Amino acid sequence: MSTTFTCLNSLRRVFGPETGRVLSTPAFHQNPLWLSHQREMSRVKQRTTHPRYTWTKKRRERHDQELTSDNQAFLGQVILQKYGPAYQDGSSGMPWVSPLKDLHHERTEWTSKSLRVGVIAKKIGVHPMWDDKGNRFMTTLLQVVDNHIVKYIPPETVAKNYPDSRFRPELGILLVGAQSADPQLFTKEYCGLFQEAGILPKVRLHRFAITPDAYLMPGTPLYASHFFAGQYVDVIGKTVERGWQGVMRRWGFKGMPATHGVTKSHRRGGNTGGGGEKGRVWPGTKIPGHMGSRWRVHKGLQIVRINSKYNVIYIRGVSVQGDPGSYLCLRDTCLPLRRAAVASTPPPFPTYFPEELPQSHGEGDSYASSVFKFTEPSITFEENR
């Protein structure tokens, strides 16, 4: 596998990131986030089953038998004192911020070139919905669970400390955390990541590339109302784990006939290559193997409904990757035509603050256009004359 990776890197060095560029269109609108559109070798399936070496150790081995129940209770009190009532709050999904925390900073105006932060959401289920003509479609529910900004990394530091990053040089990084958890589960180093923000350590951490004008202070909570109904988002997440799969399911091979003399080869792959000088199985050849549990980006999915009371986003379709209960990153889409379709409505920038719009927070759902609301009467069609 390592030889394949160096082969890929050498390919990148030979052909370079600038080769794929079309010089006639503005670079930003070609791809606002990445330096180039270069496609990876789609045949090679990369997965890592271990954390990257640059990351801090996350989970801690617990031996609760060493502590008496009194000491355990005392630890709970210490954590409560340090972090506040957020430690006792159950999994309601709504982010808690200390009222003493000052999250105000100089606010900037939204421009068409601004890139805002995304959110981390949990896939909770699938519901049917209907449009105003009576046509049924399925929607996936994603709950924005307890999101807080953890850290901001300015563009200069990104260039210096993240040399392999493919982000454009003018972009900074916002680190977002989802789903607070008991600090006793994690190592001291991991808990230290959240000290600056003053929040409980999070189960999930993800990066979002932003323009510096979309800066948010560490500790700022993020809500489902960060998006608006009708806009398009990209969903990044891990696909469903399928285990070891054969060539028909994994690569879509057609197999061989069930009868007519076919010997023991109804679902097999057949030939794996030729002979001659390159008489070996080439790297990237499609054979049975592990399938699923890969990071994938599904672009341009529409938000049809937002529930601000429970922080739930309804996305059209069932194409959201992963099992129910898995975490996903949502961000404004990079697809230019879908961005243009909703360009007339400026999004909450840099994010949605409930204190600025208190009457809308927690009050009913917002819907995309031409979606049937269950509070409306039944759909009837009028006679055409």
Partner 1 sequence: MIGRTMLAGYKTLVRLALNAYPSCLQAQVRCSSSSNKLFQVQPGSPSLSTSAKVSLEPSEEVTTSNSQLESSHNNSDVKESSNPRTRQTAQRELEDTFTPFRYVYPEFLPDPNLKFRNRIKEKLERLDMLHRRSQVDIPEFYVGSIMSVTVSDVNAPGKTTTFVGICMQREFTGLKSNFTLRNVVDGMGIEICYDLYNPTIQNITCLRLEKRLDDNLRYLRDAPLEYSTFPFDMTPEVKNPDAPVPINPLKIKLNPRPWTAKWHLWDLKGIEDVSHTLEDWQLRKLKTWKFLTGDEVKNVDLMKTYRSTIPVEEQVEIYSEFAPQLVSISQSMKKQKRKRTFSKPTKSA
Q: Is 346 among the residues that bind partner 1 (CB under 8 A)?
A: no
Tally the residues of the chain.
Answer: 385
User: Minimum distance between the CB of residue 48 and partner 1, rounded to whole angstroms?
Assistant: 26
3-state secondary structure (DSSP) of residue 86? helix
User: Minimum distance between the CB of residue 130 and partner 1, rounded to whole angstroms?
Assistant: 5
How many secondary structure helices (H) and strands (E) does the chain include? 7, 13
CA triple 146-150-156, angle to 5 deg: 145
User: Minimum distance between the CB of residue 333 and partner 1, rounded to whole angstroms?
Assistant: 25
Q: Is 243 among the residues that bind partner 1 (CB under 8 A)?
A: no
Q: Is 239 among the residues that bind partner 1 (CB under 8 A)?
A: no
Q: Is 193 among the residues that bind partner 1 (CB under 8 A)?
A: no
Q: Is 374 among the residues that bind partner 1 (CB under 8 A)?
A: yes
Q: Which of 32, 83, 86, 93 binds partner 1 (CB under 8 A)?
A: 93
Alpha-carbon distance values, 211 to 39, 68, 206, 214 (Å) = 24, 50, 17, 6
Contact by Cβ (8 Å): 237, 254: no
Q: Whole-angstrom Cα distance, residue 332 to residue 345?
A: 13
User: Minimum distance between the CB of residue 92 and partner 1, rounded to whole angstroms?
Assistant: 9
Phi, psi (deg, nearest 5) at residue 311: 60, 50
User: Minimum distance between the CB of residue 54 and partner 1, rounded to whole angstroms?
Assistant: 34
Q: Which of 16, 51, 134, 358 binds partner 1 (CB under 8 A)?
A: 134
Q: Which of 270, 289, 324, 346 binds partner 1 (CB under 8 A)?
A: 324
Q: Which of 158, 312, 320, 328 binds partner 1 (CB under 8 A)?
A: 312
Phi, psi (deg, nearest 5) at residue 152: -115, 135
Alpha-carbon distance values, 75 to 17, 67, 96, 148, 193 (Å) = 52, 10, 21, 24, 20
User: Minimum distance between the CB of residue 124 and partner 1, rounded to whole angstroms?
Assistant: 4
Q: Which of 51, 125, 154, 169 binds partner 1 (CB under 8 A)?
A: 125
Q: Is 381 among the residues that bind partner 1 (CB under 8 A)?
A: yes
Q: Is 90 among the residues that bind partner 1 (CB under 8 A)?
A: no
Alpha-carbon distance values, 30 to 17, 23, 100, 161, 375 (Å) = 14, 10, 43, 26, 42
Q: Is 128 among the residues that bind partner 1 (CB under 8 A)?
A: yes
Q: Whole-angstrom Cα distance, residue 316 to residue 40?
A: 28
Which range, of 16-24, 29-37, 253-261, 322-330, touches partner 1 by CB under 8 A? 322-330
Alpha-carbon distance values, 360 to 225, 366, 376 (Å) = 9, 10, 20
Which range, of 108-116, 207-215, 335-343, 371-379, touches partner 1 by CB under 8 A? 371-379
Please list the residues that pair with 169 across neighbouring strands.
none
Which range, of 13-21, 135-143, 225-233, 287-295, touches partner 1 by CB under 8 A? 135-143
Site for partner 1 in 290-309 (CB under 8 A): 307
- If one counts every other C-beta atom within 10 angstroms of the C-beta of residue 152, the result is 19
Nearer to partner 1, 99 or 325 (CB): 325
Q: Which of 136, 260, 278, 385 binds partner 1 (CB under 8 A)?
A: 136
Q: CA torsion, points 143, 148, 149, 150, in degrees to nearest 10?
A: -120
The contacts of residue 179 (CB under 8 Å, 6+ apart) are 91, 122, 145, 146, 202, 203, 204, 327
Q: Is 382 among the residues that bind partner 1 (CB under 8 A)?
A: yes
Give the interface size with partner 1 as a residue count (CB under 8 A). Answer: 28
User: Minimum distance between the CB of residue 316 and partner 1, rounded to whole angstroms?
Assistant: 15
Work out whether strand 202-210 and strand 243-245 pair parallel, antiparallel, or are unpaired: unpaired
Binding site for partner 1 (CB under 8 A): 93, 124-125, 127-128, 130, 134, 136, 141, 143, 307, 310, 312, 323-325, 372-383
